[in-house]
Amino acid sequence: MTQPVETTDRKQLYRDLLDAAKQATKHSYAPFSKFIVGSALRTADGSVYTGCNVENSNFANSICAERTAMVKAMSDGHREFDAIATVSLQAADCWPCGVCRQFLSDFGAGLTVVAEGAGGEIKSMPCAQLLPAAHVPKT
């Protein structure tokens, strides 16, 4: 976890999250797919948690970067989230997979999801837009 990031500039916040996600790719373990992914999650209090993908020879047992970051934050007691950025070294527009979309919807329905386009532009959308009609637990 990094120190809380205080900013009112959303574009700068998203750029900072993308940069943290890029740093997280250094810890990726992807010997099978060679698809290296990093993610950075900002909690409601401004703390930032990073994660990377960790593969297993049985792909069903692999863990994506987004879920790694979310579980790290939740295991420290966080339950409210602001934004999550995901990057891949192999592809622009790296959006969460279907499993991660459902996972993020369960724990961060109000979350903004951020990706970087091919030209370096920042792209963002509400988590609910990534997975319309998601099954979301009633709280």
Q: Which residues are annotated as catalytic? A: 66
Torsion-angle region of residue 120: left (phi > 0), alpha (psi -120 to 50) or beta? left
Q: CB-based burial of residue 67 (10 Å sphere; 0-12 exposed, 13-18 middle, 19+ buried)? A: buried
CB of 46 within 8 A of CB of 13? no
CB of 104 within 8 A of CB of 96? yes
Euclidean distance between CA atoms 110 and 119, whole angstroms: 27
Euclidean distance between CA atoms 64 and 28, whole angstroms: 10
According to DSSP H, which parts of 81-120 are helical? Answer: 98-107
